[in-house]
Amino acid sequence: MPATDLEQIVNLCKRRGFVYPSAEIYGGFRSSYDYGPLGSLMLRNVKDAWIRAMVQERDDVVLIDAAILTPPQVFEASGHLANFSDPLVDCIVCKRRFRQDQLADRECPQKREGCQFTEARAFNLMFKTHAGPVEGEGTDVYLRPETAQGMFVNFGNVLQTSRKKPPFGIAQIGKAFRNEITPGNFIFRTREFDLMEMEYFVPPADGPKWYQYWCEQRMQWFLDLGIPADLLRLRTHESDELSHYSTGTRDIEFQFPWGWGELEGIAQRTDFDLRQHAEFSHQKLDYFDQSSNERYVPFVIEPAVGANRIMAALLLAAYDQDIIGGEPRTVLRLHPRLAPYQVAVLPLSKKDSLTPLAHRIHAALSKRYMCEFDETQAIGRRYRRQDEIGTPLCVTVDFDSLVDDAVTIRERDSTQQVRVAITSLESEISLRLGF
Ligand code: GAP
């Protein structure tokens, strides 16, 4: 059964080295997190899975990596300087600040006697800094709040250099920064996060068809990664929820322990961004279709998702507790492509006679998979540790291995064990992992 309490995941992440509070030795930095040895591997696997589905397995999407520091002209054109804000209210009694749209019935969560709010005011969520040694006029730059603008401003460059034509997409993964008023729920909402976005440029008349297509594709992606269907739903935005650039958005939502929450947004950005940048930069950002002899500004469908938020959902969905051999165990039933390690190589004991063979096996498998080597503690405890961090397969090297040139593969989910020849170990592992 998936985790029912966020604390189950928060504790496991801290205890096993997935996620630590940032700057913890100084008391922590509110709502910032560092990814430890296991978390950084898993986060990378989430991004790789996205690139695999969005770029590698398609012939119509290219990847770019644009700058984080962005001049104000870009966000003036995109509308972020004017519109990328949340409505902020102050409680004049408890002196706390809240997002007005997140307050149930406009009640102060502190519920003190006589709590009263100020009028709402727009609070821009972009982080501003300055470039160069002198602070002042003309040196302002912004940390991007979305990666999307890097793809719009490079539309012409990519069109010229990639030989793509609509329908085609530009994808990007990178850090985004938002000065969130109410960050929280662990890595669900933080002020810096890893955003994975794809701008899909299509002939305007085909917009609705591709919007439907990307909603289905993206939902299937979460299902393929093992999130149960009953923990996912697609929700259409009400008109008052839409971002300034969107004429229609659907969210893929996940059933978090605190309720349904957004995992991914799929937006119809129309030709808004390309037209704005064309106007502000005085450059042509359109496409000439030679077959129809038509020039048009493509419409854009944008699936956008945070890697960290997906990681939280994947951990919650994969968390399980069962009883093995009369003993309770915690297991992360992660998809093998997402687990930090695909294989753990475990010599039965820390004897000199076993270690060299175990190291040779680890070295061979490591060329293809992320593998751990662990020779401390009793074998049962090592299996439990691997179960708890989601490693799908353990390879145990025992004293018989020195004689019969075979090892034992143990499966995380079933705990079944099977003896295989070392010569066929790699193919047996590939068969079980599915890659
Ligand atoms: N370019 C469109 C865009 O940025 P968004 O709905 O604001 O759309 C996209 O963000 C995704 O980014 C969200 O669905 C969520 O997964 C993730 N995200 C947004 N704000 C976040 C935050 N403060 N912390 C972690 N992830 C966040």
Reported as type and span, the H/E element at residue 195 is strand 192-202
Residue 171, C-beta contacts closer than 8 angstroms, at least 6 positions apart? 51, 54, 55, 61, 62, 63, 64, 151, 196, 197, 198, 199
Q: Is the peptide bond before 167 cis (omega within 30 degrees of 0)?
A: yes
Compute CA distances 299 → 141, 204, 278, whole Å: 28, 5, 14
Six token digits for residue 131: 């470039």
- Tell me which of 195, 235, 237, 254 to substitute to probe ligand 1's pocket, judged by most ligand atoms within 8 Å of the beta carbon: 195
**Number of residues assigned to the chain:** 435
Q: Quick check: 142 and 78 in contact, CB under 8 A? A: no
Q: Model-level pTM?
A: 0.95
**CA nearest 245: which of 219, 272, 222?**
272
Q: What is the pLDDT of residue 44?
A: 98
- CA of 304 from ligand 1 middle (Å) equals 7
Q: Ligand 1 centre from 337 Cα, in Å?
A: 23
**Burial track 177-202 (b if 16+ CB lie within 10 A, e otherwise):** bbebbbbebbbbbbbbbbbbbbbbbb
Q: Which are the contacts of 368, defined by CB distance < 8 A and separation ≥ 6? A: 426, 430
Q: Say how many Å lie between the CA of residue 194 and the centre of ligand 1.
A: 9
Find how far residue 259's CA is from the centre of its chain. 19
Q: Residue 235 has what pLDDT?
A: 98
**104, two tokens:** 């149930």
DSSP assignment, residue 119?
P
Phi/psi for 431 (5° steps) reads: -60, -45
Rounded Cα distance between 199 and 202, Å, is 10
Nearby residues of 113 by Cβ (< 8 Å), 6 or more positions away: 93
How far is the CA of 191 from the CAs of 144, 182, 243, in angstroms? 12, 9, 19
Distance 305 CA to ligand 1 centre (A): 6
pLDDT given for residue 373 in this prediction: 98
The residue contributing the CA closest to ligand 1 atom 17 is: 306
- The per-residue pLDDT for 23 is 96
> Which three-class secondary structure state does DSSP give residue 58?
coil
What is the SS3 assignment for 286?
coil
Protein residue with its CA nearest to atom 20 in ligand 1: 189
Question: Is 277:285 a contact under the CB 8 Å cutoff?
Answer: yes
Nearest CA to ligand 1 atom 26: 306
* Rounded distance from Cα 148 to ligand 1 centre (Å): 11
Sign of the C-alpha dihedral computed for residues 212, 215, 221 and 227 taken in this order: negative
Phi, psi for residue 427 in degrees, rounded to 5: -70, -35
What's the pLDDT at 114? 77
CA of 40 to the centre of ligand 1 (A): 19
Pocket lining for ligand 1, CB < 6 angstroms:
146, 148, 178, 180, 189-190, 193, 195, 197, 262-265, 302, 304-306, 308-309
CB environment 28-53: b (16+ within 10 A), e (fewer): eeebebebbebbebbbbbbbebbbeb
Q: Which of 356, 352, 329 is nearest to 410 (CA)?
A: 329
pLDDT along the chain (435 residues), means of 10: 93 97 93 96 98 98 98 97 91 85 76 82 93 85 98 97 97 97 94 98 97 98 98 96 92 98 98 98 97 97 98 98 94 98 96 93 98 96 97 98 97 98 98 98
Pocket test for ligand 1, best of 86, 127, 309, 314 (most atoms within 8 A of CB): 309
Contact partners, residue 101, CB within 8 Å, separation at least 6: 86, 87
Question: Which residues are 394's β-sheet partners?
Answer: 344, 410
With a CB cutoff of 8 Å and minimum separation 6, the contacts of 277 are 74, 77, 78, 152, 153, 155, 283, 285
